[in-house]
Homo-oligomer: A and B are copies of this chain.
């Protein structure tokens, strides 16, 4: 747990190297793997899609627990993982915590996988 003390925006820093262009050095591979590890879970993928499809592109925890069929602590844990990976933002309004997609984060990961140069 707590492999990352400070919130690192890995999703923004991992997209420098197109995977198929040149061999990745260990550092960049670790950064990209960190973001992909946050994505490599069915529950987190569903949470991301639920947030993206929600009204206003944001959702609170109470709206996400039932669709994914997981307990509230587990959902909070997954959301924290996604925030730490730089894929989601968290905003507290009153008693609720609203999560929203980081614009361009998923696109950055996608661009790191394929060849963006076109």
A21 and B106 contact, CB distance less than 8 A: no
A40 with B48: in contact, given A53-B23, A101-B20, A110-B110 (CB under 8 Å)? no
A106 and B20 contact, CB distance less than 8 A: yes
B46 and A23 contact, CB distance less than 8 A: yes
What's the number of copies of this chain in the assembled complex?
2
Stretch at the interface among A24-32, A75-83, A90-98: A24-32
**Interface size (A, Cβ < 8 Å)?**
34
* Other contacts beyond A33-B40, A33-B42, A39-B113: 15, CB < 8 A: A19-B48, A19-B106, A20-B49, A20-B101, A20-B106, A22-B49, A24-B46, A26-B42, A29-B42, A33-B39, A37-B40, A40-B40, A109-B113, A110-B111, A110-B113
